[in-house]
Amino acid sequence: MTDYPVRMDVKPEVSAHFDPATNTISYIVRDPGSDACAIVDSVMDIDYAAGRITYEHADALIDEIERRGLKLEWIIETHVHADHLSAAPYIQQRLGGRIGIGENILIVQDTFGKIFNEGTEFQRDGSQFDALFKDGDTYTIGQMQALAIHTPGHTPACMTHVVGDAAFVGDTLFMPDGGSARADFPGGDAGTLYDSIQKVLALPDAMRLFMCHDYGPNGRDIQWETTVGEEKAHNIHVGQGRTREEFIRFRTERDAQLEMPRLIIPALQVNMRAGEVPKDKDGRAMLKVPVNGL
């Protein structure tokens, strides 16, 4: 674990944009030594009942980048989200940048390509993305080195992205009082999630951690930033040395009681295509509902 190249002296500027409709936090990560930046986990707005897609949240990210005169180099997806739709292609069209995700997107595309009975026009080779990261791969944002760590369990393609002293954990961990993400989606696994969380907790204690989601447990205000040290000391699911066996038992029992996320059906179809809405045979944007398929 300790052989990942971590640079705690590099301190990116991180600005957070909370989406109240899906409790998602999108980030703009800026290199303090240049005008380069990356976006982590953007959101496209959807009124699912009406089948209507809009871009208020993405426009706020774009506006901030333009107002600050930044150059967008990367549009990172920590994983194929099941609870919100990515706005990556919309943002890329406006600002450029490369869309990156974990290489196990191929597994996710295969699994959900079958569930949604997609035809051969849906490529399962990750070619909808500009970059597919393997564990330990590095890339640059301006002069900063960024590092992708494979942290599966919630989904097979989950990655944690480490940029200097900041790590974007996606849905491996929540805030200490929120615990951890569910591990019961197709391809998820509680034991694998526990192992991945240990990889995150092995980073330096002072590492800033940025969550993809927060639900304000017990009525507290929404928060998204903590540290490795805080998670190790206080996380209600994995902190204070909870064992792998205890975590698996707890996580499995809890997941059995959770309902499917409200937007999982549209989110998977869009996000497995890097944020593109699928088209029907006449080229119209169209979503499916697989009956009893999930």
Q: Which residues bind Fe ion (CB under 5 A)?
A: 81, 171
Q: What is the DSSP string of 157-189?
A: T-EEEEETTEEEEETSB--TTT-B----STT--
Q: Are the C-beta atoms of 173 and 211 separated by less than 8 Å?
A: yes
With H, G, I as helix, E, B as strand and everything else as coil, classify residue 276. Answer: coil
Min dist. Cβ of residue 80 to Fe ion (A) = 8
Give the Cα separation of 273 and 39 in Å (integer): 18
Min dist. Cβ of residue 250 to Fe ion (A) = 19
Q: Are the C-beta atoms of 6 and 167 separated by less than 8 Å?
A: no
Min dist. Cβ of residue 287 to Fe ion (A) = 19
Q: Which amino acid is at 211?
A: M
6/264 with CB nearer Fe ion: 264
Give the Cα separation of 150 and 183 in Å (integer): 15
84/124 with CB nearer Fe ion: 84
116/185 with CB nearer Fe ion: 185
Min dist. Cβ of residue 46 to Fe ion (A) = 16
Min dist. Cβ of residue 41 to Fe ion (A) = 9
Min dist. Cβ of residue 171 to Fe ion (A) = 4
Give the Cα separation of 96 and 85 in Å (integer): 19
171/189 with CB nearer Fe ion: 171
Burial of 60 (0-12, 13-18, 19+ CB in 10 A): middle
The tokens describing 161, both together, are 């992205």
Q: Which of 16, 2, 37 is nearest to 144 (CA)?
A: 37
29/82 with CB nearer Fe ion: 82
73/77 with CB nearer Fe ion: 77
Q: Which residue is nearest to Fe ion (CB)?
A: 171
